[in-house]
Amino acid sequence: MADEHDLQPEDLPEMGRDLRRLYGPAVNVPADEDAAIRAAVRRGFAERRRTRLVVTRRLAPFAAAAAAVLFVIWLAMPRPSSPPPESIAVETEPADFDGNGRVDILDAFHLARRLEAGEEVDSTLDLNRDGAVDARDVDRIALRAVSLTPGAG
Amino acid sequence: MNRLPTIVIVLMLLPLLGFGQLGRVPQANDLEYQTPPRSIFSTLELWLDTGDRPLAAYQIEIEAVAGDVRIVGLEGTEPGSVFADPPYYDPAVMQSERIIIADFSTEAPEDLPAGRFRIATIHLHVVGDVAPEFQTKLTVAADADGTEIEAQLTTRPGPDR
């Protein structure tokens, strides 16, 4: 259902009359006055553009010199040196007991033999972190050697 | 229009369609009923030949490369041997087609096996008619000093069960 305030096509002439009554007739500006106003506006814009160009031309050499000085300073500044290769921390695998680059059953075997012989072993081999390097750590290495589960062990 | 009651009724009737199959007598042309997939339990024996060097440690990788095969169990070697207990393995790979097994012994060389002997047996579940094939790799074989030795790995299918 149409709203009672909706504008209908037949209302347009009436609305035109109402608008004319509200704002009155159009003001007639003489052509010479209109041309004078346009010329004044154009002169104003041209003056502003000229000023901007003059300022830009005067400042350009100073800006270039400042940029050059900054560039030289930047070149002369000491740079943070990259750390020497020795300082890169190498992640070692404690379970790789024989240090051949992989964890296999021989790592468990070597550790088991040293434990049986009563030799002292590095505390990093306490893989289960129970405070002692013992047969349970040997088992842990052996299980890691046979693991096919990513991230297990 | 609210279709919710219709949807609820349809959902309630759906299981009834399935129940209708319960009393269904298998038909002669029902291929799935006629040829159920063959399913057997089998074994694969792993044999090592170390010559005259006693074996103290080994590690073997086994993978089924043909057939629908699932590894379901492991067995060590003969009772009384230092390798009589099942070897180390990853329990997470049971029911899969690939496994790594390994074991070691710190016994004296004279108590370690040498020559040709069965080192382990793998229990398998084989489904279907495709004969299983395996790829094996002996990655470690070492003597009592931990020195790696030459050894030959062979497999032999065990009896179906």
Band of the pLDDT at A89, cuts 50, 70, 90?
very low
Place A64 in a pLDDT band, splitting at 50, 70 and 90. confident
Instruction: Choose among A110, A113, A148: nearest Cβ to B90.
Output: A148
CB atoms within 10 A of CB A71: 10
Buried b (16+ CB within 10 A) or exposed e, A1-39: eeeeeeeeeeeeeeeeeeeeeeeeeeeeeeeeeeeeeee
pLDDT of residue A88: 45
What is the least distance, in Å, from the CA of B79 to any CA of chain A? 22
What count of residues does chain B have?
161
Q: Does B139 sit within 8 Å of A109, measured CB to CB? A: no
What 3-state DSSP class applies to B129?
Answer: coil
Residue in chain A lying closest to B141 (CA): A106
β-strand partners of B154: B47
pLDDT band of residue A1 (cuts 50, 70, 90) is very low
CB pairs under 8 A between A and B: 69
C-alpha span between B147 and A134 (Å, rounded): 23
What confidence tens digit (pLDDT) does each residue in A115-124 have?
Answer: 999 998 888 8
Taking residues A130-150, what's their average pLDDT?
91
Sign of CA dihedral A92, A144, B62, B116: positive
| Predicted ipTM of the assembly | 0.76
Beta strands in chain A (DSSP E): none
Six-digit token pair at A28? 């007639």
pLDDT at B81: 93
Give the model confidence (pLDDT) of A9-40 as tens digits: 677 888 888 887 888 766 777 888 888 888 98
Q: Name, in order, each residue with C-beta under 8 angstroms of A133's C-beta and a sequence gap of 6 or more.
A: A111, A115, A121, A122, A123, A125, A126
Please state the rounded mean pLDDT for residues A44-71. 80
Contact list in A for residue B59 (CB cut-off 8 A) is: 104-106, 145-146
Query: Exposed/middle/buried for B54, CB within 10 Å: 0-12, 13-18, 19+?
Result: buried
| A chain contacts of residue B99, beta-carbon cutoff 8 Å | 146, 148
Per-residue pLDDT, A87: 42
Q: Which residue of B has its CA nearest to A140?
A: B88
pTM: 0.60
- Determine the straight-line distance between the first and last CA of chain B, rounded to whole angstroms: 63
Candidates B93, B98, B103; nearest CB to A105: B103
Is the CB of B102 less than 8 angstroms away from the CB of A105?
Answer: yes
Q: How confident is the model over A93-115, as pLDDT tens digits?
A: 778 878 888 899 999 999 999 99
- B103 contacts A106? CB cut-off 8 A: no
| Cβ <8 Å between B106 and A112 | yes
Interface contact B142-A143, CB threshold 8 A: no
What percentage of chain A reaches a pLDDT higher than 70?
80
Chain B residues within 8 A of A104 when measuring between CB atoms: 59, 102, 139-140
Which residue of chain A is at minimal alpha-carbon distance from B98? A148
Q: What are the angstrom distances between the C-alpha of B58 and each of A92, B2, B111, B141?
A: 24, 71, 16, 4
pLDDT score of A128: 87
pLDDT of residue B42: 93
Q: What is the pLDDT of residue B66?
A: 93
Q: Is B130 left (phi over 0), alpha (psi -120 to 50) or beta?
A: beta
Of B148, B87, B98, B97, nearest in space to B127 by CA: B97
Contacts of B92 in chain A (CB under 8 A): 147-149, 152
Locate the chain A residue with the closest alpha carbon to B91.
Answer: A147
Interface test with A, best of B96, B98, B106 (most A CBs within 10 A): B106
Separation of alpha carbons A128 and A135, rounded Å = 11
Q: Percentage of chain A with pLDDT > 90? A: 21
Neighbour count for residue B131 (Cβ, 10 Å): 10
> What's B123's DSSP letter?
E
**Would an 8 Å CB–CB cutoff place B20 in contact with chain A?**
no
For the ranges A72-86, A130-144, B43-57, B122-136, the lowest mean pLDDT is seen at A72-86
> Which one of A98, A113, A142 has the shortest CB-CB distance to B106?
A113
User: Helix, strand, or coil here: B2?
Assistant: coil
Lowest mean pLDDT among A12-16, A79-83, A148-152: A79-83
Mean pLDDT for each consecutive 10-residue tract of chain B (161 residues)?
A: 68 61 61 74 96 97 95 93 96 93 96 96 93 95 96 88 61
